[in-house]
């Protein structure tokens, strides 16, 4: 039975699925300039990823935004610098009475072909 096909055990997989509020589609920007309206606040969430045979928890940040009248979920890592997208959004919130909900801003996206760079103005 060497060539026996592996199939997914749906009961086991269902247990692994994480309960998470349904989010709008992810925003996957291409280089350009975007007018953005924040529809909420930065929200941390954890998810599991497989590293080798081990599952590790990762933390990401989500912000629901409106771009060109479409609703998206903008997810990012919890940056460590003020220059990161996360750091820039934290500074923007600080400048707006510690809130992002209802704030309009512009995001300029540049890319080197592998990684996007975000500037929030």
Give the structural domain span for 89.
Answer: 23-120
State how far the Cα of 100 lies from the Cα of 26, in Å rounded to an integer.
18
Two tokens at 42? Answer: 């930065």
Q: How many domains does the chain have?
A: 1
State how far the Cα of 29 lies from the Cα of 92, in Å rounded to an integer.
20
Tens digits of pLDDT across the chain (121 residues)? 556 777 777 887 777 666 556 778 999 999 999 999 999 999 998 888 888 888 888 889 999 999 999 999 999 999 999 999 999 999 999 999 999 999 999 999 999 988 999 999 9
Q: Is residue 11 part of a domain?
A: no
Q: Is residue 14 part of a domain?
A: no
Q: Is residue 5 part of a domain?
A: no
Q: Is residue 108 part of a domain?
A: yes
**Tokens 């809130």 belong to residue:** 99
Q: Is residue 6 part of a domain?
A: no
pTM above 0.85, yes or no: no
Cβ–Cβ < 8 Å for 90, 81 = no
């Amino acid at each position: 039975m060497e060539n026996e096909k592996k199939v997914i055990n749906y009961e086991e997989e269902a247990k692994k699925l994480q309960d998470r509020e349904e989010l709008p589609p992810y925003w996957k920007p291409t280089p350009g300039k975007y007018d953005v309206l924040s529809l909420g606040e930065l929200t941390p969430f954890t998810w599991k990823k497989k590293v080798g045979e081990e599952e590790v928890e990762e933390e990401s940040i989500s912000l629901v935004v409106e771009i060109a009248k479409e609703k998206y979920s903008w997810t990012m890592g919890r940056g460590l610098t003020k220059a990161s997208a996360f750091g820039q959004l934290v500074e923007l919130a600080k400048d707006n009475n510690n809130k992002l909900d209802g704030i309009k801003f512009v995001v300029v996206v540049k890319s080197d072909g592998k990684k996007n760079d975000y500037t929030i103005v």
